[in-house]
Amino acid sequence: MKNTIIQLENVSRIYQMGNVQVPALRDIDLEVQKGEFLAITGASGSGKSTMMNLIGCLDLPNKGRIFLDNDNIAELKESRLAQIRGEKVGFIFQQFNLIPTLSALENVMLPLEFQDVDTFTAKKRAYELLNLVGLGNRIQHLPSQLSGGEQQRVAIARALSVDPEIILADEPTGNLDSNTGQFIMDFLTKIHEKDNRTIIMVTHDLHLVKNAQRVVHLKDGQIEKIEHNHKKGVNLNDEKNINY
């Protein structure tokens, strides 16, 4: 497809646990369009996080091909994978994964510094993003001095710092109260609609998938079904329509 940004072709991932092989994903075929909001859901152990790690260049498949734009990441060396991660993908994790010894500002600056952005520009960009998520008065605070919701806002600002094409969100509201979680989802929806940014969200919470245009349901490492929320504006005729 012309507007495809990510394509998985016959992708499998098997982990070796001692003498036992554990298939995490089996024969996955999936296309993600540029500017799409996609949710991946399923029970614990269904392969959700494995799929996200593969899409985000954090892991490689045992079989199959994964194209991110025109790059088959299954064939790339780690140095090139790291470059792609730094330039094209922003990560939001359930556990926030902030550096505890760095301030909110420094955490957001870090991906920019890895891309050799000068300190003045990185600081300006980080300050703008922290203001955008409502933390302009908390920029010098360490993660331990921030609430869980504030830490997740810092993580979102960090994910946006290099202006990535793709945002990968792994259970982004999992450790948050309902009001803070709703703020996070509203913000992700806003940046998706405003910037036409590709967002892929992994969640077990079926209440959150209403924000997505398509929902991939995984079961035992395979795609059980793909549902389409016609209210969100993506029309794929071979998939099931749903109303939320």
Q: Are 168 and 156 in contact (CB under 8 A)?
A: no
Between residues 233 and 135, which one has the greater pLDDT?
135
- Does residue 199 sit in helix, strand or coil? strand
Task: Give the pLDDT score at 231.
Answer: 61
Angle at Cα 27 formed by Cα 219 and Cα 63, nearest 5°? 130
Burial of 66 (0-12, 13-18, 19+ CB in 10 A): buried
Task: Give the pLDDT score at 237.
Answer: 40
Q: Domain locations in the chain?
A: 4-242
Structure tokens at 30: 């999936």
Q: Are 74 and 12 in contact (CB under 8 A)?
A: no
Model confidence pLDDT, tens digit, residues 15-47 = 988 899 889 999 999 999 999 999 999 988 899
Task: Give the pLDDT score at 31.
Answer: 94
Confidence category of residue 111, pLDDT binned at 50, 70, 90: very high
Task: Give the pLDDT score at 177.
Answer: 85
Task: Give the pLDDT score at 35.
Answer: 93
**Domain 4-242 classified CATH 3.40.50.300?**
yes
Q: Are 68 and 146 in contact (CB under 8 A)?
A: no
Average pLDDT of span 157-178: 90
Backbone angles phi, psi at 15, to 5 degrees: -105, 140
Q: Are 59 and 212 in contact (CB under 8 A)?
A: no
189: left (phi over 0), alpha (psi -120 to 50) or beta: alpha
The HSE-up count of residue 172 (CA atoms within 13 Å, CB side) is 32
Between residues 14 and 2, which one has the greater pLDDT?
14
Dihedral angle sign, alpha carbons of residues 129, 135, 137, 143: negative
Model confidence pLDDT, tens digit, residues 195-243 = 889 999 999 888 888 889 999 999 999 999 999 886 655 444 444 443 3
Nearest to 184 by CA among 71, 92, 62, 88: 92
**What is the distance, to the nearest Å, from the Cα of residue 14 to the centroid of all Cα atoms in its chain?**
22
> How many other C-beta atoms can be found within 10 angstroms of the C-beta atom of residue 170?
21
Q: Are 176 and 148 in contact (CB under 8 A)?
A: yes
> How far is it, in rounded angstroms, from Cα 95 to Cα 87?
22
**What is the distance, to the nearest Å, from the Cα of residue 236 to the centroid of all Cα atoms in its chain?**
22
pLDDT at residue 127 tops 70: yes
The DSSP symbol for 31 reads E
Structure tokens at 117: 């952005």
